[in-house]
Amino acid sequence: EMADEYVLLGASEFIKDRLYFATLRTKPKTTANSHYFSTDDEFLYENFYADFGPLNLGMLYRYCCKLNKKLKSFTHSRKRVIHYTSYDQRKRANAAVLIGAYSVIYLKRSPEEAYRSLISGNNTAYLPFRDAALGDCTYNLTILDCLQGIRKALQCGFFNFETFDVEEYEHYERVENGDMNWIIPGKILAFSGPHPRSKIENGYPLHAPEAYFPYFQEHHVTAVVRLNRKIYDGRRFTDGGFEHHDLFFVDGTTPSDLITRRFLHVCESTEGAVAVHCKAGLGRTGTLIGCYLMKHYRFTAADAIAWIRICRPGSIIGPQQDFLEEISLCFATFIFHSILTSLPVPAAEKHSHSIMLPPPCFTIGIVLGFLQM
């Protein structure tokens, strides 16, 4: 019992006398009053390079089911349920997003309240997430960013754990089944680039355009956007009844204003859903989808990066992160300016010669795309 009290002193409290999160050096023993569990070795992130999280939507769903079951279980009905993690900074950050997201989704906490709980007690700061690259990390995605992205997606109706089909999510995200993830269900799907023919190359399954037809038809995908160089003939999609758009830009780079505006236009003018791919369907694909989220759903850059990575780990790499941050700032400034310029001008200022110029980042033509809302 003393050990329990000691653990609770330093733990984050989510529900008083009921749900806690603790960072512990050794595995604790469950007692008469406390039930301990860890998910550090159950939900494992499959890294590309130096990235280590956040965990994907399927794992978040499975975690929430597990925790709900524990909280509803008769065996634990009078016990404190304590989710514990280790001092491995990567596992700890992933565990924090799980319980933080649970409290946002099920306990109706704001991301800020959930984060405040996470850093209470003797919990030190959490390691921020990084992109799926080899070099130095230039952009930190924090635990709070992840919680804010999840809440934004929840508010926009992008996921609902009452009806979420985790088997379907896990099936289609596998390379052999198409490597596809919905970022905006019913509207934007990210997938890995098709190849001229379906085959296994060095143990890696490749899919021809036709392999996607049944799924696309069933899910009302009517347009395909290719962002990488031509590996297959685009007419194979148009012959199958889909629109096909080529918006090439170099791997690992950021899109031009023109490419961004054309992408937004395709998404806006397509009746059905749009399937987007580059080579792996991660960097270039995630970047343009991020622009759409910021324009149509008012996501911040960090919200968009967090949500896209939770749906499709490894998305948005290197300079693409800063590009989204720039677009986000331009968009926020534009909204702010439009509010300012719509306010009545005090009489004394009406005759002054100062002209309100848009901030310098407005030279980015993308805001023109945003203007056509």
Pick the closest to residue 88 from 49, 39, 133 (CA basis).
Answer: 39
Map residue 76 onto helix, strand or coil. Answer: coil
334 within 8 A of 370, measured Cβ to Cβ: yes
Considering the candidates 64, 146, 267, 278, report the single residue annotated as catalytic.
278
d(CA 309, CA 200): 27
Phi/psi for 184 (5° steps) reads -120, 100
Alpha carbon distance, N-terminus to C-terminus of the chain:
60
Q: In Å, how far are 19, 68, 117 from 92, measured between CA atoms? A: 17, 21, 15
Pick the closest to residue 143 from 174, 98, 179 (CA basis).
Answer: 98
User: Residue 342 contacts by C-beta under 8 Å, 6 or more apart in sequence?
Assistant: none
Helices (H) and strands (E) in the chain, counts: 13, 11
**H-run or E-run covering 118:** helix 111-118
d(CA 20, CA 51): 27
133 within 8 A of 49, measured Cβ to Cβ: yes
DSSP for 341-370, please give it. HHSPPPGGGTT-----PPPGGGGSTHHHHH
* 278 tagged catalytic: yes
130 within 8 A of 53, measured Cβ to Cβ: no
Relative orientation angle of helices 283-297 and 301-311, to the nearest 10 degrees: 130
Pick the closest to residue 259 from 304, 236, 225 (CA basis).
Answer: 225
d(CA 154, CA 365): 30
Q: How many residues does the structure list for the chain? A: 373
List the catalytic residues: 278
